[in-house]
Structure 1
Amino acid sequence: MRTKLITIDATGSVEALREVATALVRGALVGMPTETVYGLAGNAFLPETIRRIFAVKGRPQDNPLIVHLYDESQLDQVVSRIPREFYPLYQAFCPGPLTMIMSKSENLPAEVSAGLDTVGVRFPNQRTARNLIRYAQVPLVAPSGNLSGRPSPTQARHMLDDLDGKIEYILDDGPCELGVESTVLDLTSHPPQILRPGVVTADLIYSRTGIKARSALTQTEKNAVAKSSPRESDLTVNKEPVPETANITNSSDSDEIPRSPGQKYRHYAPRAQVIIVRGDDRELPRSFLAQIRAATGQKIGFFGASETFAKLSALLQAEAGLETKEIIPYLYNGPEDIRKATHELFSALRALDTEGVDIIMTAAFPRETYGIAYMDRLERAAEVEEK
């Protein structure tokens, strides 16, 4: 199969999109840009198309898909009941990077939700995605357009790297605006529970709607829950109480089907080992230096701020035995910046993998605003699978 790459022009390439939409309705798979990451889009009503998406990605069959809609008028095609919380959330955040889990309609094939009676629904806020859904006039499933477990694609060329020759079309509308997947909020839980963090945080939900949503567990908390007895009521992590889990699946060893993508399996991982370096702006360059000293005989990649790398380079020049150490950088301009880091994270992991590094070192950020989603993805990328 030859994958056709279509570059979307300033006018939106309307005729080309109409052609792609027609093929999509009939079962074609399409690389679709969104404001979060590029997705692998298919007709949500065709079971054979859904099965093909799982096969192309190498995606586990128990990892549910998110359905993408143009607006709320399509909602009754895919959900059987609309919770009252949906309406203020829709007004506040849609179209945008928020996925809401609701009761699934019988219209949807069971393959979409991995057999669950719920489905995640999102209204993307990106011109090409919205036009494609509007022209197709059917709901679309669109998991991230990468091989399962790899860093998500934030540019069309990332999809080509993973899926060239396996799907019919890729629509290139430039880099994604955000660079991190949508927040997934379970509206069948009371109160609503964030299952996958994104840029729409619990604090932001409360400030805009008055709805009190429970935050997602951190990776450390998830690991603690997974290792604990299901009957244990007083779970702790570093002597701090772990929040209620609300039927969240946290372990890759569990037989329970996760209610959201991004919960059960290792995700976002490059081939290289990822090392998260911690420290404030003043200490950070020396924290990197300590990690570099320990990485003898390994090819090192650095992802982060140009200012931090300049300070690190000066330290390396002054360090006997390290002055000739080659570090391959992937930089964004200026000081440490969580929005820039989030936007570039997946591109950096892919680029440094291409350079053949053994280790990728990058800085941690505080768990606030964008940092909540960023640290979730980074910790998953750094996680070592149990043998």
Structure 2
Amino acid sequence: MQEENGNKVKTRVFRVSEENFEAVLEEAAAIIRSGGTVAFPTETVYGLGADGLNPGAVRKIFEAKERPPGNPLSLLVHSREDLEKVAKNIPEKALKLMDSFWPGPLTIILEKNDIVPEITSGNLQSIGLRMPDHRIPLELVKRAGTPLAAPSANLSGKPSPSLAVHVVADLSGRIDAIIDGGDAAIGLESTVVDMTVEPPVVLRPGAVGIEELERVIGKVRSGYKDANVGTDVVKLDKKAGQKYRHYTPDTKVVLVEGEGKSVSDKIVELLEKYRSEGQKVGFLFSEETAGLFTLKGLNTGEFFLLGSREEPEVAARKLFEGFRELDRKGLDIIVADGSFSRSGLGEALINRLREASSVRLAV
């Protein structure tokens, strides 16, 4: 278990298989029941779980992640019974969303019951709830007998973990156990929709798009940062409602947004500019931009290929891995390709790229 004196914790890593599934999940559930912390895969990203109704256990999540106090967590549930234990005044529209998208990558914000500790809800009267579409967290919630507070299993503000090795890199020595269940299928965090207001508001885009939500419940508003930019450089400042930065590598990120070849040409221009300044540059590429570099015979240096512009789902699965890979290279700048299609997971992909960038260029 985690030590109270600040010393490092011995973090156990369980590599789960069909042969050891029962034993691993039972041991992990026992850690949760005794107030400990366990990281595990979901279909979105790896989560860091603890008993969401135990303030002491939840506090360990904040300590392990170095998460700012007052930053609310969401809860993972296994059943409607779990839901009714922690939420009240559940609107009919929320039930329709559950019928359509649970289990799945959709977090629904509802009024909370008093059983949910203030540390879990960030002193708010609401709580985010999700039923994950992944066998491991569902079984862990069921066996632990409690909803799990489960933010992403990374140091606060850093790129979310899509692989167990990312969790090990960030949290080994800080948490009790990590369940290695392979890579996360989606690679980006869930869509978050606030159902305590009317019309409902999407606070974070994810695999469930606004159009899909509206087909089920009607009008839905977008409440996340609209990052439409002009043709000039946009330097980002913290604004009201944007207190905490997320998904941010240590290396400065310059995001180039626009259409097709114009983005590729701008990235070539930036390569030449940064090289002339003696800076070490890395790239998050689309296949199309990488092809232009090859055509021009450019030695790109450090780069990570996300995939085709027309396949944002592929790029989404690789995004956080790409940031982490490039962050280890001792670079001065990462130039990110923002030419991906906005269809499907594209909106969420661009949202995460915008969140990670300190400079954006539109071409």
TM-score (ref. length: structure 1)? 0.84
Letter in 2 for 1:67: L
CA distance in 1, matches of 2:212, 2:20: 32
Query: CA deviation digits over 1:163-198, x for unaligned, max 9?
Result: 101111000111101011111101011011111111
CA distance in 2, matches of 1:16, 1:280: 48
In structure 2, the CA distance between the partners of 1:113 and 1:206, relative to structure 1 (3 Å rule), is same
Match of 1:116 among 124, 137, 147: 124
Alignment partner, residue 25 of structure 1: 33
- The count of residues paired between Structure 1 and Structure 2 equals 343
1:206 matched to 2:214? The reply is yes
Query: CA deviation digits over 1:354-386, x for unaligned, max 9?
Result: 1222211221134443121111111110036xx
Q: How far off is 1:286 after superposition?
A: 1.8
CA distance in 2, matches of 1:39, 1:129: 9
Match of 1:347 among 321, 341, 355: 321
1:281 matched to 2:260? The reply is yes
Q: Which segment is superposed worse, 9-18 or 264-273? A: 9-18
Residue correspondence of structure 1 range 205-224 to structure 2 within 5 A: 205-207=213-215, 209-220=216-227
Match of 1:304 among 261, 281, 285: 285
Alignment partner, residue 167 of structure 1: 175
Match of 2:185 among 174, 177, 185: 177
Residue correspondence of structure 1 range 79-90 to structure 2 within 5 A: 79-90=87-98
CA distance in 2, matches of 1:298, 1:10: 48
In structure 2, the CA distance between the partners of 1:71 and 1:11, relative to structure 1 (3 Å rule), is farther
Alignment partner, residue 241 of structure 1: none
Preserved CA contact (<8 Å) 1:308 1:336: no
Q: How far off is 1:326 after superposition?
A: 4.6
CA distance in 1, matches of 2:152, 2:137: 13
Match of 1:147 among 155, 178, 185: 155
Alignment partner, residue 320 of structure 1: none
Preserved CA contact (<8 Å) 1:37 1:178: yes
Alignment partner, residue 5 of structure 2: none
Alignment partner, residue 115 of structure 2: 107
Preserved CA contact (<8 Å) 2:109 2:129: yes
In structure 2, the CA distance between the partners of 1:11 and 1:192, relative to structure 1 (3 Å rule), is farther
Alignment partner, residue 332 of structure 2: 358
Alignment partner, residue 249 of structure 2: 270
SS in structure 2 of the partner of residue 85 of structure 1? helix
1:330 matched to 2:304? The reply is yes
Alignment partner, residue 243 of structure 1: none
SS in structure 1 of the partner of residue 92 of structure 2? coil
In structure 2, the CA distance between the partners of 1:381 and 1:283, relative to structure 1 (3 Å rule), is same
Match of 2:102 among 94, 111, 114: 94
Q: Gaps (5+ residues) in structure 2?
A: 1-8, 231-235
CA distance in 2, matches of 1:94, 1:44: 20
Q: How far off is 1:333 after superposition?
A: 5.1
Q: How far off is 1:284 after superposition?
A: 3.6
Alignment partner, residue 378 of structure 1: 353
Preserved CA contact (<8 Å) 1:266 1:383: no
SS in structure 1 of the partner of residue 336 of structure 2? strand
CA distance in 2, matches of 1:273, 1:337: 26
Q: How far off is 1:300 after superposition?
A: 1.4
In structure 2, the CA distance between the partners of 1:200 and 1:293, relative to structure 1 (3 Å rule), is same
Query: CA deviation digits over 1:61-83, x for unaligned, max 9?
Result: 12100000012121121112211
SS in structure 1 of the partner of residue 227 of structure 2? helix
Q: How far off is 1:136 after superposition?
A: 1.0
CA distance in 2, matches of 1:15, 1:66: 27
Query: CA deviation digits over 1:100-129, x for unaligned, max 9?
Result: 111111011110011111100000111111
Q: How far off is 1:336 after superposition?
A: 5.0
Q: How far off is 1:314 after superposition?
A: 2.5
CA distance in 1, matches of 2:92, 2:310: 40
Query: CA deviation digits over 1:259-294, x for unaligned, max 9?
Result: xxxx53111010111111234333343221011112
1:291 matched to 2:270? The reply is yes
Residue correspondence of structure 1 range 218-233 to structure 2 within 5 A: 218-220=225-227
Q: Which segment is superposed worse, 79-88 or 168-177? A: 79-88
CA distance in 2, matches of 1:381, 1:178: 18
Q: Which segment is superposed worse, 300-309 or 369-378? A: 300-309
TM-score (ref. length: structure 2)? 0.89
Alignment partner, residue 295 of structure 2: 314
Alignment partner, residue 56 of structure 2: 48
Query: CA deviation digits over 1:225-250, x for unaligned, max 9?
Result: xxxxxxxxxxxx97xxxxxxxxxxx9
Letter in 1 for 2:357: A
SS in structure 1 of the partner of residue 127 of structure 2? strand
Q: Gaps (5+ residues) in structure 1?
A: 222-236, 239-249, 318-322
Instruction: Give the root-mean-square deviation of aligned CA atoms.
Output: 2.1
